[in-house]
Structure 1
Amino acid sequence: MSEPEDKWHTTPAERATLDALYDCFKAHPDPNAGSFRRSPDRASVIVYWHGPPPTGLLELAGQQPVPITFESTRYRLDELMPVAKQLVTDHHDVICSAGPSKDFSGVGVMLWSDPATDHEELTAALGEEVGVPVVFERYVERG
């Protein structure tokens, strides 16, 4: 029998692992920290990190009820946030929100919903403009 899920659809073991990572990231800020999330198959929790993870984080990972895997990020938060802010400033007519993509491989953007917008062409052009991959996340209705 599997563990019951909470309102976020996580099992107690997943929640304990996610909470431990959240507490660690909060208590020990590190410019190389990316993000973390459940893997798509829910077999592990993925931690995105720029460079080698610190020993303390590796030790914490080994103590969790759900396996933790580490994936290297292409960029750091302090490299992506200025780009994301500039994209919103320069293109507020089409971009409603921007920030690091989930895996820190570039900038994710939410675009204002407009049938005339081809998000593939737009994100390719934006990526060329800023020199960082830009990924479409979703459309948002104005209002």
Structure 2
Amino acid sequence: MSVVRDVTGLVVGGALGKASAVAVRRIAPGSSTRLLTLALVPVALVYPVARRSATGSGGAVVREAGGVLAMAAVVAAARRTTRPELVTAAGWLAHAGFDAVHDPGHGSRLPDWYPAFCAGYDAGVAADLLRRY
């Protein structure tokens, strides 16, 4: 693990996440929260899709499946609330937390820098969603 690599990933990911959310808001101003909410499931699918094999990966597969289910639950909750921005921001922050603690192990095709970058990206999107509060 490299602290410089991880901090760089967090910063670059955060800037790109914020920029992406701003772009979505500008392109689809009436639907941006809904689009950012729906994006939570594909974002969570990155880890299991990048897996070489489900065998021999310990609890990583279970954690990744749980992450996908958790993001699906956030999508469902965001549809039922009067504050979808807050629920969606919480989902992005939860995924950032997942990135920060999840060890995909040797069975992942993802590069070592990816979890920190993704955590930063997720936090950048959440920051944009919370911009009104």
Q: What TM bracket, shorter-length normalisation?
A: under 0.3
Query: Normalised by the size of structure 2, how large is the TM-score?
Result: 0.27
User: Which is higher, the Rg of structure 1 or of structure 2?
Assistant: 1
**More helix per residue: 1 or 2?**
2
Larger RCO, structure (CA 8 Å, separation 6 or more): 2
**More strand per residue: 1 or 2?**
1
